[in-house]
Structure 1
Amino acid sequence: MSQAAMQALIVESAGAPFTAVQLPRPVAGPGQVLVRILASGVNPLDTKIRAGQAGHARHPLPAVLGLDLAGVVEAVGAGVTAFAPGDEVYGMTGGVGGLQGSLAQYAAVDADLLARKPAALSMREAAALPLVFITAWEGLVDRARVQPGQKVLVHGGAGGVGHIAVQIARALGAQVYATGSAAQKAIIEGYGATAIDHATTSVAQYVDQYTAGEGFDVVYDTVGGTVLDDSFLAARTYGGHVVSCLGWGVHALAPLSFRAATYSGVFTLLPLLTGKGRAHHGEILREAARLADAGKLCVRLDARHFTLGSAIDAHRAIETGTAKGKLVVEIAGN
């Protein structure tokens, strides 16, 4: 009997548009879950992989892209007891490291990478969450170990990782401040942070204004470049901690060392690339579901809707900087 087929999008070569294809429907192997995908989150990394500019993602083309998904369990493989057919799930499950991505009707994924979808969130909202939440959580909780009452500064507080980091830090009981543009002030304040206009306020000015010159207990850089250098200048003397998920380039550590402060990098893809630590990603997404269902976490979505047929438009929105929140491709026919 022939294997069932599914619709999917593949990228044949760097910079190429998507090609709609029919692929064999995957089968859940031992430790895997077959997910019927209802929504595929789109991230800036997806666009870089399609452009051939993300060697660190180790995703050779041609390939199916898409890191994040939300959907319904269709079947489970041998040894899987945490999920059953019909469960609504979400996760960051592929699209790097040669693992099939989520721009398809089905994916067979490692059960450890999944969690049950928050009841309070739609499939679109859930699909937008995994990569950015895991990245924010690993920085604030796993690396910086944020405590109640600490002062936390998030650079890029209206961005994908940034607006989630603000909400996590607030939920942990921190006093939260976030940089952004003047146009983003209302967005940042809507998530409970004090907004800082990065264009009109120097590091020295906001460190003096909000910490009496002492510096912030934790600084999370979600922007990279010179903002990471600014982060070193904003860390609290004796014990301040800087975290970055975009620690590219060459940076002088002396300003941080002179404060007796510390630095950690976050590389969210490691469990997908190495196979190690995947269960922790599932644990983190269970924390996300707990916060969302408690009304302490929401995700900012772009109002536009995309399908497999218009997925390239979602990529172009990210590439041109016109996205107004997270973008999601809805998988028709599922």
Structure 2
Amino acid sequence: MKRLAAVAMLCGLAACATPDTFVAADLEPGRLPTPDTTLDIPGLGPCTDNPDRRLHIDASQPVHVLVHGCFGSSGQFRGLAQVLAFHGQQAACFTYDDRAKLADSAAELRSALTQLAARSRVPQVTVIGHSQGALIARRSLTDTLAEPLPARPLGLRLVTVSGPFAGIEAARPCGRTWLYPLTLGLLPFSCYVTTGPKWADITFSSRFIREPGPLAAPVFDHLKIDTDERNACRRTEAGRCVESDDIFSLDEQRHPAVESGPRVKRVLVNAGHVEIVGDKREAPMKLLGVLQAEGVLRPTPPGQALAFERLLSQVYRDERR
């Protein structure tokens, strides 16, 4: 029975993020600089679900690259991209197979960043990853990958949000190799069926988790945003929580090797796992506050406060209801 219960725990992995069930429209231009370059880079495109995945940017201005979690897509970060656009900041979204090995996805992201640098004049790239995307974003900027970093000087900044850097607790049975023969191979098979090839990367005992690797020299800082998700609720009915937003504990998000060094700053936010990045029901006000305080998101011009409120009510449609 204990072995069956261990296998059943894997069902919790399906809750790592909210499935993206809507198709995002094209972004309004906001205060963005006029695009002067069109790039066709695998995995890197606009933060919408538009089938045209080419990236249209001002090649001399910084770019924010957003990395979604599992069950996500580029459209999941349409809201955050629109907020950046309102403040005159460009965004691109990295899309990947969320069941693939995390190291493979990180290598694909690294390749996309290298191509972006080689084919433009962007002076700085800020990589922002949420949930599983946080693991991929950080690994892409470490010295552990064979894929080279951009050859020319380029400022790289890393922002991770709610990343399970200590491994996903629901996947703990998958990391207990001594259970494999006792379950006649059922355990690793169930791990694979549930999460795909990435199952071997997300456990506490995996090399991916145990050896996160040092940040590469061009990365000038890492803003690590952890979320205290206890008692967070994603959806209520009649005053009762029917869908929890408590996905990753603080223990799952902490890792000494990831947090060590002068380039890392940790910020703790009391927010649910989806609440922190927002969805169609709620704008990510806590995250936006942190990003502005840390200089990732530009300050909202005083005369544009009301316009910004209107934007939030349009992008996060149910937030003001």
Tell me the TM-score range normalised by the shorter chain: under 0.3
Please report the TM-score for the alignment, with normalisation by the length of structure 2: 0.28
Please report the TM-score for the alignment, with normalisation by the length of structure 1: 0.27
1 or 2, which has the higher strand percentage? 1
